[in-house]
Structure 1
Amino acid sequence: MRSILTSRVVGATGSVNFIDLTVVPSGSDIGVHTHADDNEEIYVVVSGTATMMVDGRRIAVSAGDVVVNRPGGTHGLWNTGAEELRLVVIEVPVGARGRAGS
């Protein structure tokens, strides 16, 4: 996995920690991990196909899908396709304006 563009949002007053354009090569993964309770991540799949695990549930995702990884949640992602997976990852602090998925 590599981040090809990271943007720290200038003047956002804490509403967004970062916006990342991430590339995951075919056959690669980000590993299963748990985040702290102080932020949530939103994944927007731009191209490719993958399997995501969100709090123990596996789901197939592809271009156009949006997945919210809740604060304190456990998630992972595996590129199951023949092509690289591109996704935008947005990290939002929990106290920013309520929760992103609300």
Structure 2
Amino acid sequence: MIIADTAAPAEVHGVHGAAGVSWWKCFVRGPELTGAWEAVEWARLPPGGLSGEHLHTRTEEVYILLSGHGEIILNGHHTPVGPGDVVLTGLGTRHGLLNTGPEPLSWLVVELLGPATAAVFGRGPAGRSERNEAMTAAKVFHLGEPGEIDPRSVLTGPLRRIARQRLAPGQADTVAADGRELTYFVIDGSGTATSGSASAELAPEVSLTLPLGAGATLTAGPDGLELYVLELLVTEGNPA
């Protein structure tokens, strides 16, 4: 299992061409995994800060808003967003994010290789996936309570589930990355993650990623445990 947190982020100036500063940290990169991941990251904007508009032609992206309030800019249209909102950005979409509130705005970033790019890097089957006519280029959902989203109405790759999960105090959940890879981000509470002889503390702003073939038991502490989880299938076209 791969454990990371938001401590000591990099200070980024002029993110995507916008003036000002932001903070950023990468939890895990695609080459550390088998599936069609580009990266799992965390970012934060100060009040009034802007992550500049940019066009996605090679990757698709998931934003999960964690704190603060702002506006997501999707192909020039501004939509208010806040904690619990999930933004899916498909191929061919231009997007940016503006902090409109008085507090820092933070969000989880999951970037995924588009099918054609995944095939080039050997992390997806050969051939280009066609978009269904019913698919949209981008969409905003809300996961304010435990529940889940099927991202396939927007995204073309193998990401199958985005969920908000809550474990009661002392409750345990044993998961296996069998034919899939999983990445978690703790929102609230505390607990532990155990994989074989390894154990790690879980707390807010801690990330846990399970590569293909890994397994772990997540056990909530006395105040329970709440987290986001994203599940990505590892297809037959991936290397063994």
- With normalisation by structure 2, the TM-score equals 0.39
Q: Which moved more, 1:82-91 or 1:3-12?
A: 3-12
Pair 1:40 & 2:60 matched: yes
Alpha-carbon distance, 1:50 to partner: 0.6
Contact 2:65–2:81 (8 Å) recurs in 1: yes
Q: How does 1:12-23 map to 2 (within 5 A)?
A: 12-23=33-44
Q: Which moved more, 1:22-31 or 1:7-16?
A: 7-16
Q: How does 1:89-100 map to 2 (within 5 A)?
A: 89-95=109-115
CA distance in 2, matches of 1:21, 1:32: 18
Q: How does 1:1-102 map to 2 (within 5 A)?
A: 1-9=22-30, 11-36=32-57, 38-95=58-115, 101-102=151-152
Alpha-carbon distance, 1:101 to partner: 2.7
Alpha-carbon distance, 1:85 to partner: 0.6
Contact 2:62–2:109 (8 Å) recurs in 1: yes
List 4+ stretches of structure 1 deviating above 6 A.
97-100
Q: Structure 2: which 5+ runs fail to align?
A: 1-21, 119-123, 132-149, 153-240
Partner amino acid, structure 2, of 1:29:
L
* SS class of match (1:32): strand
More helix per residue: 1 or 2? 2
CA distance in 1, matches of 2:26, 2:66: 14
Alpha-carbon distance, 1:55 to partner: 1.7
More contact order relative to length (CA 8 Å, sep ≥ 6): 1
CA distance in 2, matches of 1:9, 1:40: 13
Contact 1:16–1:91 (8 Å) recurs in 2: yes
| Greater radius of gyration (CA) | 2
CA RMSD of aligned residues (A): 2.2
Partner amino acid, structure 2, of 1:61:
V
Q: Structure 1: which 5+ runs fail to align?
A: none
CA 1:9/1:93 → structure 2, altered by over 3 Å: closer, same or farther? Answer: closer
Partner amino acid, structure 2, of 1:2:
W
Alpha-carbon distance, 1:9 to partner: 4.7
